Amino acid sequence: MSRLPITKTPKVYVGGAFIRSESARTFPLQDAAGHFFANIPQCTRKDLRNAIEAAAKAGPGWAKRTPYNRGQIIYRLGEMLEARKADMTDALAVGGATKSAAAKEITATIDRLIYYAGWADKYEQVLGNVNPVASPHFNFTVTEPMGIIGLLAPAEVPLLALVSLIAPAITSGNTVVALASSTQPYPAIVLGEMLATSDLPGGVVNLLTGFRKEIVPTMATHTHLRAIAGVASADERKTLKLGAADSVKRVKLSKTEEPTDWFSDQAQSLYDLRDHLEFKTTWHPIGA
């Protein structure tokens, strides 16, 4: 007897749950050979709004964890990815990645997570300061997470680029809402399944799939997002900067037309961590 195929319904990982788009819309995804692969949720601005609510809820708890614990959890995410390499290889193959290309991307992704996991309880020593002042005060500069960060993943290297954007933001206690690659969204769906089984609290990382033109304008104007990072075209950069100016958020975008080498060591840095931090300077009287 032939068995009916059991196909997976791809769902996005938002607020610790797997959801369909609020609009109930989907778009068909073709694999590299041009065959229908699956219907992917077409998330809209309302999904973005809901994801930001989820990120806001998770924010204080995540920021309050010890840096050491955040490091452990991000390391654990690396472990999850290591253990499920085969799944991720299949997911990347949907976009046409060969076995060796997928292996290279997955290894680089795991290494990136481990890199930021290591920074979790160390960046404060490097970025924070005791400042010399000419008065009887201790003067400290310490860092604080900004809050909710909006991320725009590029089309290419759908896993590594996405994780390279997420990891520095969450390491310091921010929560993120990320729009996955619009041409290769499937690895982000599988990444969501791995996030759910790492010890990451729900809502810290929220992944959306869908069309950039529906999400970008709302991301630009939503006042609850404190920063936007990622890769954007010239038109999108303009929209994002105009919207961000109104709502006073930090924008750091690289250009679609100048591709980033996500595999290089330049794609990971303490300064990517610093991009999502606020600095607070306090004066403390000596002897009090």
In this chain, which of 41, 95, 154, 243 binds other proteins, going by CB under 8 A?
A: 243
Residue 137 vs 250, nearer CB to other proteins:
250
CB 80, min distance to other proteins, A? 32
CB 154, min distance to other proteins, A? 25
Question: Tokens for 180?
Answer: 């996955």
- Count of positions on this chain that bind other proteins (CB under 8 A): 11
In this chain, which of 42, 164, 218, 256 binds other proteins, going by CB under 8 A?
A: 218
User: Which one-letter amino acid corresponds to residue 114?
Assistant: I
Decide: is 95 part of the binding site for other proteins (CB under 8 A). Answer: no
User: Which one-letter amino acid corresponds to residue 57?
Assistant: K
Q: What CA–CA distance (Å, rounded) separates 60 from 63?
A: 5
Decide: is 221 part of the binding site for other proteins (CB under 8 A). Answer: yes
* Binding span for other proteins by CB under 8 A among 19-27, 112-120, 158-166, 242-250: 242-250
Q: What CA–CA distance (Å, rounded) separates 96 from 82?
A: 21
* Binding span for other proteins by CB under 8 A among 17-25, 130-138, 221-229, 266-274: 221-229
Q: What CA–CA distance (Å, rounded) separates 166 from 175?
A: 9
Per CB under 8 A, contacts with other proteins among 157-196 are none
End-to-end Cα spacing for the chain: 83
Per CB under 8 A, contacts with other proteins among 41-70 are 49, 52, 56
Decide: is 255 part of the binding site for other proteins (CB under 8 A). Answer: no
In this chain, which of 70, 112, 222, 237 binds other proteins, going by CB under 8 A?
A: 222
* Binding span for other proteins by CB under 8 A among 19-27, 241-249, 255-263, 280-288: 241-249
Q: Which residue has the tokens 């300061």?
A: 129
Decide: is 274 part of the binding site for other proteins (CB under 8 A). Answer: no
Q: What count of Cα atoms within 13 Å lies in the side-chain half-sphere of residue 103?
A: 3
Q: What CA–CA distance (Å, rounded) separates 56 from 204?
A: 9
CB 247, min distance to other proteins, A? 7
Q: What CA–CA distance (Å, rounded) separates 112 from 268?
A: 7
Residue 148 vs 195, nearer CB to other proteins:
148
To which H or E segment does residue 175 belong? strand 175-179
Sheet holding 129-131, edge to edge: 129-131, 137-145, 277-285
**Are the C-beta atoms of residues 75 and 127 closer than 8 Å to each other?**
no
Decide: is 246 part of the binding site for other proteins (CB under 8 A). Answer: yes
Contact residues for other proteins (CB under 8 A)? 49, 52, 56, 218, 221-224, 243, 246-247
